[in-house]
A and B are shown apart, each in its own frame.
Chain A
Amino acid sequence: MQAAPIKIWDIPGGIHPAEHKHESTQRGLEVMPLPARLVLPLQQHIGARSEPVVAVGDQVLKGQLLAEATGLVSCPLHAPTSGIVTAIGPAPFPHASGLEEWAITLDSDGEDKWTDLEPIADYQSLEPATLLDMIRLAGISGMGGAGFPTSAKLKARPEQKIFTLIINGTECEPYITADDTAMRYKAAEIVAGIEILMHILHPADVLIGIEDNKPEAIAAMRAAVGDRAMRVIEFPTKYPSGGEKQLIQILTGKEVPSGGLPADIGMVCQNIGTLLAVHDAVLLGQPLIKRITTLTGDALTRPTNVEALIGTPIRDLLQFAGLQPDKLYRLVMGGPMMGFTLQSLDAPILKTSNCLLAGSIEELPPPPVAQPCIRCGLCSEACPASLLPQQLHWFALGKEHDQLKRLNLFDCIECGCCSYVCPSSIPLVQYYRASKAEIRALDLQTHKADHSKQRFEHRQARLQRETEQKEMDRKVRAEKAARIKAAKEAAQPSETETSAEATTDVTRIEAHKPTGLTPEQKQLKIAAATAQMALKKAQKQIAANPDNVDLQAQVPELEQACEQAQRTFDEAMGEVSVKAPAPPSAAGADDAKRLKIEAAMARASLKKAERAAGDSPTEEQEKEIYALREQVAVADARLPKDEAPRKPLDESLKKAKLDAAMAKAALKKAERAQSENGEDAALQEEIERCRAQLSDALGVLEQAEAKASQLETSQQRAEKKPVDETTLQLKTDMATAKASFKEAERAVQEARENNADTGPAETELANSREVLDKAAKAFAAHMASKETN
């Protein structure tokens, strides 16, 4: 499947520094002897530090898990050899700062004994998700650049299909030959790794980009690829072609949006070393414990490439390559363009360490003293991101952060081209790094200040609330005491009906209070709520998997149970209201007002709870909301009839109207499509469906309207109660059931017309009829129970 030769695009800027690659490619790929001690920092990747699962003194086997990932963007760590854990704590760390970092120190026992491995030869039979898991559990992070966990990178944008898988064999930095060596000697494994990723991602295109200064690697990769659906693309050498964004631009002409990921434009870029690790993880079952590292520089007598265990101290590696300590002046981890200097030889190599450059003072002389910028513009000509480095330099000097952001400082990839070409030897990249760090720190500080402000204000509000609450409690207590006292005083002179009246009055008020339910009522209420909950849950589940027959069968039962519970509860409440005598006419107006207030309060707290629950309420919240709804209903029911709110019904009417309009629109659209495209069976069907929907919707609308008018009249007559939530719910259920019944009917008809097997459709029809019957019954029963109330 060799497609037409791909167009090679050019990137702006770029430089051609002396390559110095041949020094380290003369000795092939050597295997580093087993070191006596390994230092394994817990932060080898971008993201959260991994968490040790071993203790000091533990004996571990090669490949055994030492530390596990602590989040999505994190990476587990495995023992590179067998031995004993001798320390867990701060240890030398390869970082420009020279600071220490938490690490597991492992003393090798020399046996190099593997733990049990589970290689998978037949990975094609596995789900991509399983393979991703294997990659994640093998602790693989990007081995070329920043060290982003590979599994997270592969599924960075789950919703975005990956069309192009790009394999980065560019290795544009001078001196480094690790990927070159890997491609020369391990091309087959790399291709196997690519195939695994292809199985995971199913890309339309696989591009392997290699610079034309690596003819041996290109030949080896071409041979290994053979006639597989991958393309090895050779393009002119230019630094920094190997930057992820730059490589994408070279191979596809597209640009990764600022602040975005390659996945945003349907691409994923993987490094050669990462592919080797993927191969090892899946086909050999080995976690990531070794890598190929270039050892080079003037201070080494035999520069070479080695396969070294992660965690091997740099001292061991350099000694292996014949370090001349007196010549070593500058030790760089990474390449001469983007690498960072190390202060000590005790630090180990990490999963990301592709090169150690031990330079002499002649090779990497200290930079000359910076001269003033003469704005010659060579830097902007060299910048691969088309920034204005000299402007950034001026603004960095003046710490004008807004201007730096305006000039897109954060799109700088720190490739070093600008510093390389600067005739005034200005350490431009250092200015950008410092500015970026400062801006980030300030942003963080601002963020924290906002956060603190919020916490402070909330605390103030809480304190205020607490004081007010105390004050109110005190008042309420005082009032209550006064009332009881008054009642007592009133009762004393003559034990007439007034006292009875007064007491019943109090009882009634208590009964109206949501909390003033008798234990029995409470229990009933809870039962009703639980039943309602179960019903809702079942309905939700059905919505999620509409094919589940068991669940659908449960619903009518649940509905009935719910209905019954509700009825019992309503009856219990009814008893109370029946028991309670009619309010004395004198107190009527006052009572109405109080009741209204109570209802309003109940509604307010319901609203608050709903707001708090938001779109995804927890179970408790739902329960609470339900209970509050109950209260509202009760409170509303107690209101003088003409005061009852009409809102719920209005809403249902509105919804029905909306549905009808939507159905009408859909029908029209389908019809239009048909008139444009002529006769089409699928369209015809669509129209039919739309028509049915419309008629359903119109039916519902009619019903709703009828109810509304009925209600209006009933309200005018002040005879009937408003439609409460339960009624509505039941009615909706009935409508749904009716709709599904109709649909089933249609399905049967269709099946008959097509001379197909009508069996399943008929079962469906029977089912839906049953559901409809039940719903209708439930509704009728509910209405009846309401009538009795």
Chain B
Amino acid sequence: MALVRITSPHARGNNRTQTIMLWVLGATLPGVAVMTWLFGFGTLINILLASCFALAAEALILRLRKRPVVFFLSDGSALVTAWLLALALPPYVPWWLVLVGTSFAIVFGKQLYGGLGQNPFNPAMVGYVVVLISFPVEMTTWPAWRGIEQALPDLHSVLGLLEALQRVFLPGSVPTIDGWTLATPLDVVKNNSSLTMDELAASGQPVFGSLGGRAWEWVNIAYLLGGAVLIYKRVLSWHAPAGMLLALGLMSLLFWGGSGSDSNGSPMFHLLSGATMLGAFFIVTDPVSGATSSLGRIVFGAGVGILVYVIRAWGGYPDAVAFAVLLMNLAAPTIDYYTTPRTYGHRKAERGMGKAD
């Protein structure tokens, strides 16, 4: 009878990486549903395409790196990257754009650093930023949302499935439809310089909803819901999202600027517009590229929140979650150095760069 020698603990919890990844995917579903309802099949097509490309890219690189393909593919991390990137892209972008974004995310953002757990940057955001900078036109073309007809009767929205597929796979063959696209609320507020907020709301532009950015508020609420489930199930810690939302809320409160023409929008508008909630609960919470300790995560989240607002209000882009996250990824190791928790039995925490180098 050969008895095994294994180090303790001999009991194990049933936490698995796959489970975590599946929970994350599941928690995006409310957001996916709302986006699909608002923008049509584009979001679903994005997700499907990105998933295929991501798995293929991951498998290819794993094979090249002579790593066990099935073992690493089954951890689900590539799928999460793909979904998050797909949800960040505008619906109906050409298929090759999804391909470029996803494969860059997987190959350069993740595998070339050594695979899962080794990447300093959030892979989905790396892919997103690459396509955002390379293909600005495609990346800023957001379709009008369902129900726009009531506000602006000359616009029409939500393509049928066939039309959608055509637009994605044969982008050149489809004639541009007038009045099909719409500036996002963040865009409108950013580019506004002559109208007060009230005038803007009254101008017929469908900018403000009852809570935040029109229509986008529902997308954000759906992601908030999914994130709340993740925190409740203890898949995520609350620290990073809380840090980001608080910082963003605080910044937008401080620099609100009232309702004049130079207003930057209300805190609610910022919290419930653009990619705020997607970022707060699904991007900032990426553990690999974020900070480690609880305090570190709050700091990390707060940094993202501040940067998001800075770029939204004074930078060159209407939304900025991707840039903010990447910038803070750079800072994560430093944050880790200065947010070490106090160990039991020590009077104070050992912080700073330490004795060794």
Contacts and interface: CB of A to CB of B under 8 A. Distances in A.
* A and B directly contacting (CB within 8 A): yes
Interface of A: 12, 15, 17-18, 96, 98, 174, 245, 249, 255-260, 325, 328-332, 334, 336-344, 357, 359, 364-369, 371-378, 380-381, 384-388, 390-391, 400, 402-403, 406-408, 411, 414, 416, 419-425, 427, 429-430, 433
Contacts of A258: 343-346
A375 B15 contact: no
A378 B15 contact: yes
Contact of A423 (B1, B16, B237, B288): B16
Contacts of A15: 13
Chain B CB count within 10 A is highest, among A364, A368, A377, A406, for A377
B354 A385 contact: no
A245 B294 CA distance: 23
B117 interface: yes
A385 B10 CA distance: 20
Contact of B287 (A12, A369, A377, A425): A377
B345 A255 contact: yes
Given A372-B118, A373-B117, A386-B342, A343 B5 contact: yes
A328 B1 contact: yes
A406 B357 CA distance: 11
B4 A366 contact: yes
Interface in B59-90: 71, 75, 77
B77 to A, nearest CB: 7
Contacts of B354: 402-403, 406
Contacts of A433: 7
Contacts, number: 170
B117 to A, nearest CB: 4
Contacts of B350: 406-408
B346 A357 contact: no
Contact of A420 (B4, B5, B11): B11
A485 B227 CA distance: 109
B11 A337 contact: yes
B112 interface: no
Contacts of B8: 332, 334, 336-340, 414, 416, 419, 429
A407 B340 contact: yes
A506 to B, nearest CB: 66
A332 B7 CA distance: 10
Contact of B292 (A245, A337, A375): A375
Contacts of A12: 344
B356 interface: yes
Contacts of B134: none
A377 B237 contact: yes
B254 interface: no
Q: Which 3 A-B pairs have the closest CB atoms?
A: A416-B9, A402-B356, A372-B117
B292 A390 contact: yes
A342 B8 CA distance: 12
A406 B356 contact: yes
Contacts of A343: 3, 5
Contacts of A334: 8
Contacts of B356: 400, 402-403, 406
Q: Do most interface residues of chain A lie in helix, strand or loop, or is the interface mixed?
A: loop
Interface string B31-69: 000000000000000000000000000000000000000
Given A255-B345, A420-B12, 8 more contacts: A329-B4, A336-B10, A372-B118, A407-B350, A411-B346, A420-B13, A422-B15, A429-B9
A369 B344 CA distance: 31
B344 A366 contact: no
B293 A423 contact: no
Contact of B116 (A368, A371, A430): A371
Interface in B107-141: 115-118
Interface string B315-356: 000000000000000000000100011111110001000111
Given A366-B6, A376-B287, A17 B346 contact: no
B20 interface: yes
Contacts of B193: none
B336 to A, nearest CB: 7
A416 B355 CA distance: 28
A337 B340 CA distance: 26
Nearest to B118: A372
A504 B343 CA distance: 80
A419 B12 contact: yes
A433 B293 CA distance: 22
A391 B5 CA distance: 26
A424 B116 CA distance: 11
Contact of B117 (A364, A374, A380, A411): A374
Contacts of B342: 386
A374 B344 contact: no
Contacts of A377: 237, 287, 292-294, 297
Contacts of B20: 374, 376, 423
Interface size of B as a range: 35 or more
Given A375-B288, A422-B15, A402 B117 contact: no
A94 B330 CA distance: 49
B78 to A, nearest CB: 13
Nearest to B1: A325
A12 B117 CA distance: 26
A309 B276 CA distance: 66
Nearest to B7: A430
Interface string B11-31: 111011101100000000000
A369 B71 contact: yes
Contacts of B11: 17-18, 174, 336-337, 364, 420
B74 to A, nearest CB: 10
A334 B340 CA distance: 33
* Residue among B12, B17, B117, B350 facing the most chain A CB atoms (10 A cut-off): B12
A293 B354 CA distance: 45
Select the residue from A342, A406, A425 with max chain B CB neighbours within 10 A. Answer: A406
A376 B15 CA distance: 11
Nearest to A365: B12
B343 A374 contact: no
Contact of A357 (B4, B5, B10, B71): B10
Which of A329, A357, A375 is packed against the most chain B CB atoms within 10 Å? A375
A371 B75 contact: yes
Interface string B92-115: 000000000000000000000001
B293 A380 contact: yes
Contacts of B115: 372
5 contacts: A365-B12, A377-B287, A377-B293, A408-B346, A433-B7
B344 A384 contact: yes
A366 B5 CA distance: 10
Nearest to B237: A377
A376 B297 CA distance: 11
A319 to B, nearest CB: 14
Nearest to B75: A371
A374 B237 contact: no
Contact of B5 (A18, A341, A419): A341
A330 B287 contact: no
B167 to A, nearest CB: 36
Contacts of A371: 17, 75, 116
Contacts of B293: 377, 380, 388
A256 B346 CA distance: 9
A648 B15 CA distance: 79
A330 B3 contact: yes
Contacts of A407: 340, 350
A429 B8 CA distance: 7
B237 A381 contact: yes
B345 A425 contact: no
B7 A427 contact: yes
Nearest to B354: A406
A425 B12 contact: yes
Nearest to B349: A386
Interface string B228-272: 000000000100000000000000000000000000000000000
Contacts of B341: 380, 386-388
Nearest to A367: B12
Contacts of A245: 344-345
